[in-house]
Amino acid sequence: MATEDQSLPNGEMKTIDARHAPLWFCPLPACHEKQAHDVILEGLDEGDSISAAWDARWGGTLEGFVTHQGDRGSQPGVDRDYFRFRIFQPERVNIGIVNGSLPDTKLELLTATGALIHQEILGPGGSISFQEFLHPSSFPASYYAVVDGSAPPSFSGVGQAGTPCDQQNLIIRDAYLLTVAPEPRTVVDLIVMPPTVALGESTILTAEVDEPDGTNPGAGIEVRFSPLYGTGYVGCTVQSGSCVTSTDINGRATVSFASPANGTYPFAASAMTGGSDTASLLVGNSQIVASASPNPVSVGQPSTLSATIYDASGSPVGQGVPVTFSTGHPGFFTGNGASSSTSPSTVMTNAAGATWIWFASPAEGSANITIESDSAAPVVLPVEIINPNANLNIDITIGFITGSTNSSTYEIQAVVTDSSGAPIPGERVDFTASRGTLSADHDFTGPSGIADTNLTITTSGDVTVTATANSVTAGATFFGQVGEPDDNMLPVRQFSLGDDVFGVAFSPGGETLAAVSYSQSFRGWNTADFSSRWSSVTQDNSPGQLDFSPDGAYIMIPADDGVQIHRANDGGFHCEGTNALSRHTFGAFLGNTSYADVGFDSGAGLERVFKYTSLCGVGSTIASADAGEGFERLSHMDYNATKGWLAASTDEGYTYVWNTSGSRIQKLLVAAGANAHDTDFVTNGSRLAAVGYQAVKVFNTTTWSAQTFGATSLGPWKYSVKFIDNDSKLIVGGDSKIEMMDAASGASLRTGDVAGRAIEMAWNPSTGDLAVGTNLGSLYIFKPLEPNDTITPTISVSHPPEPFVTNSPNLTIVGRVTDNVAVTDFAINGAPVSLNTNGDFSHPVVLSPGANTLSFAASDLAGNGVTLQRNATYVVDSTAPVISSVLLAPTSGAPGTLFTLECSVVDGDSGVAFVEADIRDSGGALVTTVALSDISGSTWHVEIDSLQMAGGFYSIDLRAVDTSPQANQRLVGGAAGFTVAGIFTDGFESGGVLRWISAEGGIER
């Protein structure tokens, strides 16, 4: 490193006298903390400089420098400045001095004891710069730079300056402490593997040492591991509180460590060439949490085996921990980088400590999967491999297609699934019907497990259809009606949003229904089964109308503070559009990223129409309603893409039509002197329907002539309107009712009842669903083109069978309830029971002794109900087994004699669970208990070995227990006895003659 250039201002030549370098002593503690080297610089004057720096080729950094200004010496001509610096490792140091013209300047480097390390002499106009390896016995070490003369020298570098102090009594010198700390010449990476071990197990600490550029420094670099943690290290030497070893040819220093106790152990590894790193070891038993899905799984189909590994503290172990799966059941492992397709197979955990693997088996049965990982106790995960056809399920659904004066056609669908609920493709399904004609008597299931056929009937009445697949038959009965649907529409589903449902819309593709209420409830459903897609709350208050973008990607919701844009896939908030006003009432999309809405300009007293050209932009005014007219939330904005027109109604009874530039196309009178509410264009924009107080009008958008419809069933108030069925029918919503009319003649076709005002409607041509929102927070789903649902739900009980007899009071009832639309209520013995999305249920009951009746009841929204009963008998076993015919042979013998004991045990109820014998000595103390084996269905047998028995008499107590939940038992005390080695006991003769004791509980002699 080059020295810092500073010229001598006076141009004089000074001589350095090395003799003026006696042993230096400083009384201040800061000056003599460590062993020191001295650098003596003499003959310098004001403006001269000295510098010290590490050679960058050898690594290291000079931490600081000091500067002393002024003449501090008292001996004439011999002023010296001292500089102390410390070296933290044996490296090369650069010492340099530069001047302009002084001759014979001398630079010396000395130790603290005055020993000369190196010296250089500077000639006139030259410079001094030398390098020296410093090898102090310990680090950090201190050195001195000493300057004689009156110059204010500087010692330059990088870091922290030292503390000046004065020499007393000897030659006056000024000393400056300088600290030098080199940059690490190497980089250390400490790896603890495994990072988690059980108590007593060892782990390996590896310090990987690299040059800064990543190259291998080779062997022989000393590495210290700390702290010691007792005597847990193996493979190193203990020195000064550390475990010391050296790198191998690969630059790695490795030691083993065995944990002395549970807990967390932080380690540090530092190389003598610089660099350090830390890592931790966790000692304790870890845990494996595992699951399989699906389980059971069909033969040949994969089940996903998932496992999460937790350390002793309960936290996930992190990434890179091996987890091994093994089983003796035939099968194959795949996925997630599995190490082998056959058992065992290993995968690695992710950052969350979790991992997975697929397992598929060609053989039925129970595959017990053993999961192992490091110090965790192994877990056995049972996976049931089943034949899908052995547990095949068939669900039948029926839907109306069309009707005429003489006939009606229904679609019959059979959904075939295995016991896990997975669809079974390619299965033949045979259909039958009790009346009518089938379009096909059989079909094969597709990828979704569905086979279908059409049924045409010519007379009304109950129709029973069956579907049979692989010897499994399912049936359903419904009322088949000839002709168009009946007059009164019944809702097929109903939801609650809590407050005025101002916004209702289906996505352009018909797969999603969204709705929003004034109280900010925002919900979405999948129209295939009306399962929930999202349920959230809007960010802004008082949301109004809701609309989908043409591409179905976004939903707009005008509200008080802006137009909220939500994602249509999950209902999540995307952004907000704003305008100059604070109130946004309703609006509609004009394109995929453009839309319009309305708001009240209180300053001008006018209702404004705003247009937004980007989803998250600022709306600009394009049109206004006339003064004195207002838009209400009960109103609605419609946009027709064919015409490029917008329509909205006001509280003064008018409907406005504008183009997207804001030019007014028409102002139409709908309800004179009263409110006009909703509007709707037909698909091609040739007609516009508008409703209001005592008004239902359809305008021809070419002539603007109006056709008035009666809608007499609704009363005076009409709030919503919608064209349906390819614009051939018109539905109007009023107070507590909706009415469907022929769109050409206005003839009334059907009506339906709702609770409250029908303030918003949406039509889904893909499914034939009509959604109706009310001011009381209800959302109804009608099928106005289909007959009312007359099909009752189907209750299938898979357990218990009929009839059912058990000796346990606890029973879990398992089954499924299905409906062609949806089950709304299901109860067992009057208690409500929840169903999952497939209609499955599992419900525990407690049986009373004797006969029990299990009552099932299910109903749908249309009020179609069905009941079912099952019988279950709970047999209470209170009779203990009977012990008889007790035989013992021989009855005496020397130690080691085998005494054979047999008896007859019979239980007339649940059967015998076990029989055992207590052997007692003559004092009644229990010697041992032996279990008898059932050798013939009622005869129980055991051989008693007397080898370890002392001489004397031993009596035998017999105990028999049945298999009932009550575990009834029979105890016969003193059922038999024997004598060992001629011991004479109370009442016994020599030789161990059997003493028969009267036995209770039915013993026979």
Q: Which of 18, 40, 52, 64 is nearest to 131 (CA)?
A: 52
Q: Assess whether pLDDT exceeds 80 at residue 297.
A: yes
CA angle 808, 813, 815 (to 5 degrees): 155
Percent of residues, the chain, with pLDDT higher than 90? 43
pLDDT digits (tens, 9 = 90+) for 272-295: 877 889 998 878 777 898 999 988
Q: Look up tokens 């056995």; give the residue.
A: 380
If residue 599 lies in a helix (H) or strand (E), which one and from where to where? strand 595-601
d(CA 740, CA 547): 23
Exposed/middle/buried for residue 354 (C-beta within 10 Å: 0-12, 13-18, 19+): middle
Residue 632 pLDDT more than 60? yes
CB neighbour class for 275 (10 Å; exposed up to 12, middle 13-18, buried from 19): buried
Contact 79, 72 (CB under 8 A): yes
Cα distances from 345 to residues 323, 332, 339, 356, 927, in angstroms, run 8, 9, 5, 11, 51
More confident call, 114 vs 421 = 421
Query: pLDDT per residue over 21-33, tens digit each?
Result: 222 223 223 332 2
Of 323-327, 861-865, 869-873, which gets the smallest average pLDDT?
A: 861-865
The confidence score (pLDDT) of residue 894 equals 92
Measured in whole angstroms, how far is the alpha carbon of residue 260 from the centre of its chain?
36
The residue-averaged pLDDT of 469-495 equals 81
Mean pLDDT of 907-932: 92
Q: What is the pLDDT at residue 140?
A: 45
Is the pLDDT at 491 greater than 60? The verdict is yes
pLDDT category, 590, cuts 50, 70, 90?
Answer: very high
Q: Is the pLDDT of residue 80 over 80?
A: no
Query: Tens digits of per-residue pLDDT, 555-575?
Result: 999 988 889 999 999 999 999
- The pLDDT score that the predictor gives to residue 381 is 93
| pTM (two decimals) | 0.43
**Residue closest to 965 by CA, chosen among 828, 837, 807, 753:** 807
Half-sphere exposure of 833 (CA within 13 A, CB side): 26
pLDDT of 63 over the 60 cut: no
CA dist 277 and 191 (Å) reads 9
392-418: pLDDT as tens digits: 788 776 766 788 888 988 888 888 887
Q: Are 581 and 601 in contact (CB under 8 A)?
A: yes
Which of 452-456, 487-491, 786-790 has maximum average pLDDT?
Answer: 452-456
Closest listed residue to residue 595, CA positions, set 643, 663, 548, 538: 548
**Helix (H, G, I), strand (E, B), or coil: what is residue 807?**
coil
Question: Residue 832, Cα to own-chain centre: how many angstroms?
Answer: 31
465 near 412, Cβ under 8 Å?
yes
pLDDT of residue 987: 43
* pLDDT of the residue at 131: 45
CB of 143 within 8 A of CB of 52? no
For the segment 648-668, the average pLDDT, to the nearest whole number, is 92
pLDDT score of 44 more than 50: no
In sequence order, what are the beta bridge partners of 478? 463
Q: Is 929 exposed, middle or buried (0-12, 13-18, 19+ CB in 10 A)?
A: exposed
* Mean pLDDT value of segment 857-876: 89
Q: Predicted confidence band at 252 (pLDDT cuts at 50, 70, 90)? A: very high
Average pLDDT, the chain: 78
Per-residue pLDDT averaged across 208-232, rounded? 86
The yes-or-no verdict on residue 874 having pLDDT over 50 is yes
Backbone angles phi, psi at 574, to 5 degrees: -110, -55
Tell whether the model's pLDDT for residue 308 goes beyond 80: yes
d(CA 295, CA 483): 47
DSSP string, 542-572: S----EE-TTSSEEEEE-SS-EEEEETTT--
Residue 843 is predicted with a pLDDT of 96
Q: Is the pLDDT of residue 955 over 70?
A: yes
Say whether pLDDT at 118 is over 50: yes
Assess whether pLDDT exceeds 60 at residue 710. yes
The residues with which 444 forms a beta bridge, in sequence order, are: 428
At 374, the amino acid letter reads D
**What local confidence, expressed as pLDDT, does residue 890 receive?**
95
351 or 785: whose pLDDT is higher? 351
**Among 2-6, 351-355, 442-446, 787-791, where is mean pLDDT lowest?**
2-6
Q: Domains along the chain?
A: 29-177 (no CATH), 187-283 (2.60.40.10), 287-386 (2.60.40.10), 389-485 (2.60.40.10), 489-782 (2.130.10.10), 794-874 (2.60.40.10), 882-980 (2.60.40.1930)
Mind listing the pLDDT tens digit for each residue in 598-623? 988 877 888 889 999 999 988 889 99
Confidence of residue 772 (pLDDT cuts 50, 70, 90): very high
In the predicted model, what is the mean pLDDT of residues 628-638?
85
Which token pair is 370? Answer: 């053993």
End-to-end CA distance of the chain: 114
- The confidence score (pLDDT) of residue 235 equals 87
By mean pLDDT, which of 170-184, 249-263, 702-716, 976-990 is the weakest? 170-184
Average pLDDT over residues 486-513: 90
